[in-house]
Chain A
Amino acid sequence: MSIYHKAKKTTINTLIHLFLLAVAITCIYPLLWMVASSFKTQETIFSDISIIPRHLHFENYYLAVSNSDFGRYFLNSTIYTVSVVFGIVVVSSMAAYAFSRLRFPGRNILFIIFIAAMMIPMPGGFVPLYVLLNKLHLRDTAFGYILAMISMGLATSIFILKTFFDKMPKELEDAARIDGCSKLGIWWHVAIPFAKPALAVVVVFNALNVWNEYVLALIIFDSKNLMPLQRALMMFRGEFLTNYPLLMAGLTITALPIIIVYIFMQKYIVKGVASSVLG
């Protein structure tokens, strides 16, 4: 390779890195700005624009948790996320296992209906859902919200898990069957451990989905003490629109768990996007 070519290649690579780096900075900067601002005061927030504030003011967090009940909302979001994800994992892994491995009449048509539901857009579907929950006396209850959220994540999760179970070697099941395992036993002792990577994808995606959900939380809940973080943030916003440090503390409390989960589970998210979209 001539010097000219080498120089050209280095230049191109540098330009590419500059481009990638510039975009990367725009992705991280708003978050750093959010966290930094949450430690400032209303007086310093406009003068001190550094990412590392000179004085750390924790009182915004204290106010958000004690005066505005963010501890309660955080707990609600946690309860909803854990229950919904648990429900989805159990229900969808059983169904996906059956769709992949058991031979019962109506199997294909049922599976196709699930997949169709995944693909048909239903904007405004929350209107009849509201009516339904009202009729079942499940509106403004945690249980109603959890069930509705489980149904939202079901189709995609079944699809991801079924695709994975299809790759499970038949010998694994046969061995368990010879040992006298029931179907339920095979699902629990063989299929579930085998599907751990796919289950991780299902867990991470649904957890993000529930934690970030807004529209159902908006129409279902009237009681403040049942509201999750996203809903609480919008109320908070109405109350403290110009108190930026306090608002940023609320946002940090809401976003931090997601970011922590992301840092540890990043590879499953990347895999999940590919497997749920490209099949």
Chain B
Amino acid sequence: MKIRAIAEDYLFVLPAVTIFVIFYVIPFVWVFKLSLFNWDGILPSKTFVALANFKEIIFHDPSWWQSMRNAGYITLIALTFQNALAFLLAWACDRQIRLKHFYRAVFFIPPILSEIVVGMVWRFIVNDVDGANMVNRALVTMGMGQFAHSWLNDPKFVLTTVAIIHSWKGFGWGFLIFLAGLQTIPREFYEAARVDGVNAWQSFKNITMPLMMPVIMLVAILTVLGTMQAFALILGLVGGEFAGHTSVPVLRILAVMRDSSRFGYACAMGINLGIILVAVSFVINMLARRARNWA
């Protein structure tokens, strides 16, 4: 009877576990296994090369590290510009303000759209020199026509343009999480501070910031994980052009897998990036803990 009951319970998790094991656990194990081989993805025979793929990535693959630097640059802008914007907007919406729900709904429109769609629409808005380039039109109208650019065709500007559009697409996430965090701070804290004659800036510094630290760190981690693995927006914006200037790690992995048919090497790249991401999240977490101890 007991065994029947247990078997019955397992039936509930069986579909989930089966799908999960086949399509998540097995690929997870295979990434590590394949990374030790040279394999074109087709032939039945693989050549065991131990850690040679990793050695090549770390010491002899400048285009991989170029793509890392590019993604790192976009991530840096996302961490600062995008998250500061998200925090400011959340802070503004946390007050008793009219149209709060309208703003909240509108700021989450960019995140619900696909990266491909966003990339292609923005290409149209920022790229053509005289045609429909709205950014240039605005610059000309403001008397700053000399700054007009074909923003995605100039190697000097293309990565920053990508980073800003990426931030536009992503700030809504941070905004919603920050807003949820801000709303958990009891209003009495602010009122007590006001009664004690504390000004707005001080109460922001001494109440809001320390209490929001864990949320800020959480958003920072999510931003790093999301941005370092982003790539579809770039495909929508610039397609395959400017390979070096806008290539990011996932695009490199795709190219190595599909164009060069080096499956083992592509897996090793994935592990390399994965380890870096775990390490960075770990460091941010540690910083968060230390910041909490100071507060």
Contacts of B271 in A (CB 8 A): 124
- Chain B residues lying within 8 Å of A230, measured Cβ to Cβ, are 114, 116-117, 232
Q: Is the CB of A121 within 8 A of B31?
A: no
Q: Give the chain A neighbours of B273 by CB distance below 8 A.
A: 123-124
CB-contact partner of A127 in B23, B118, B236, B263, under 8 A: B263
- Taken residue by residue from 243 to 254, chain A's Cβ proximity to chain B (1 for < 8 Å, 0 otherwise) reads as 010011001001
What residues of chain B lie closer than 8 Å to A45, measured between beta carbons?
A: 131-132
Do B270 and A124 have beta carbons less than 8 Å apart? yes
Instruction: Please report the C-alpha to C-alpha distance between residue A97 and residue B110 in the assembled complex, in whole angstroms.
Output: 33
A25-33, A53-61, A66-74, A193-201: which lies at the interface: A25-33
With A121-B278, A273-B180 known to touch, is A94 a contact of B97 (CB < 8 Å)? no
Q: A224 at interface (Cβ–Cβ under 8 A)?
A: no
Chain B residues within 8 Å of A102, by CB: 9, 12
Cβ of B267 under 8 Å from chain A: yes
Known pairs A28-B109, A121-B229, A151-B23; A110 contacts B17 (CB<8 A): yes
In whole Å, how far is A162's beta carbon from the nearest beta carbon of chain B?
11
Q: Are A121 and B277 in contact (CB under 8 A)?
A: yes
CB distance from B267 to the nearest CB of A (A): 5
- Given the known inter-chain contacts A128-B26, A128-B34, A214-B115, please indicate yes or no for A238 contacting B239, CB distance below 8 A: yes
Is the beta-carbon distance between B106 and A127 smaller than 8 angstroms? no
Which residues from A are CB-within-8-Å of B162?
Answer: none
Produce 1/0 per residue, B1-41, CB < 8 A to A: 00000101110110111011011101110110010000001
Contact check: which of A94, A127, A148, A154 meets B266 at CB < 8 Å? A127
Annotate A150-171 by CB proximity to B: 1 below 8 A, 0 otherwise. Answer: 1100110010000000000000
Main secondary structure of the interface of A (DSSP, over half): helix
* CB of B89 within 8 Å of the partner chain: yes
Interface assignment of A39: CB less than 8 Å from any CB of chain B: no
Let me know if A26 and B89 touch, CB within 8 A.
no
User: In the complex, A269→B112 CA distance in Å?
Assistant: 9
The reply to whether B107 and A27 form a contact with Cβ atoms under 8 Å apart is yes
Q: How far is the CB of B112 from chain A (nearest CB, A)?
A: 5
B222 at interface, CB cutoff 8 A: yes
- Are B132 and A20 in contact, CB atoms less than 8 angstroms apart? no
Contacts across chains A and B counted by CB atoms under 8 Å: 255
Chain B residue, CB-CB nearest to A157: B16
Return chain B residues, CB-CB under 8 Å to A27.
Answer: 106-107, 109-110, 168, 172
A278-B107 in contact given A123-B273, A148-B23, A237-B239 (Cβ < 8 Å): no
Q: How far is the CA of A212 from the CA of B19 in the complex (A)?
A: 22
Cβ-neighbour of A154 out of B20, B222, B263, B269 (below 8 A): B20
In the bound complex, do residue B112 and residue A262 qualify as a contact, i.e. CB atoms below 8 Å apart? yes
Q: Other CB < 8 Å A-B pairs besides A128-B27, A274-B176, 14 of them?
A: A99-B13, A117-B28, A120-B274, A120-B278, A122-B28, A123-B249, A123-B277, A127-B31, A127-B270, A132-B30, A151-B22, A154-B19, A215-B250, A278-B181
Q: A residues within 8 Å of B by Cβ?
A: 13, 16-17, 19-20, 23-24, 26-28, 30-31, 33-34, 37, 45-46, 49, 90-92, 94-95, 97-99, 102-105, 110, 114, 117, 120-125, 127-132, 147-148, 150-151, 154-155, 158, 183, 187, 208, 211-212, 214-215, 218-219, 230, 233-234, 237-238, 241, 244, 247-248, 251, 254-255, 258-259, 262, 266, 269-270, 273-274, 277-278
Residues of B at the A interface (CB closer than 8 Å) are 6, 8-10, 12-13, 15-17, 19-20, 22-24, 26-28, 30-31, 34, 41, 85, 88-89, 92-93, 95, 97-99, 102-110, 112-118, 120-122, 124-125, 128, 130-132, 134, 137, 168, 172-173, 176-177, 180-181, 215, 218, 222, 225, 228-229, 231-232, 235-236, 239, 249-250, 253-254, 257-258, 263, 266-267, 269-271, 273-274, 277-278
Q: Please name the 3 residue pairs, one residue from A and one from B, whose CB atoms are nearest each other, closest first.
A: A124-B270, A151-B23, A98-B12
Identify 18 residue pairs between A and B in the complex whose beta-carbon atoms are under 8 Å apart, listed by A's number.
Answer: A23-B89, A31-B121, A33-B125, A46-B128, A92-B16, A98-B12, A121-B278, A123-B250, A127-B257, A127-B263, A129-B27, A132-B27, A215-B232, A233-B120, A237-B236, A241-B239, A262-B112, A273-B180
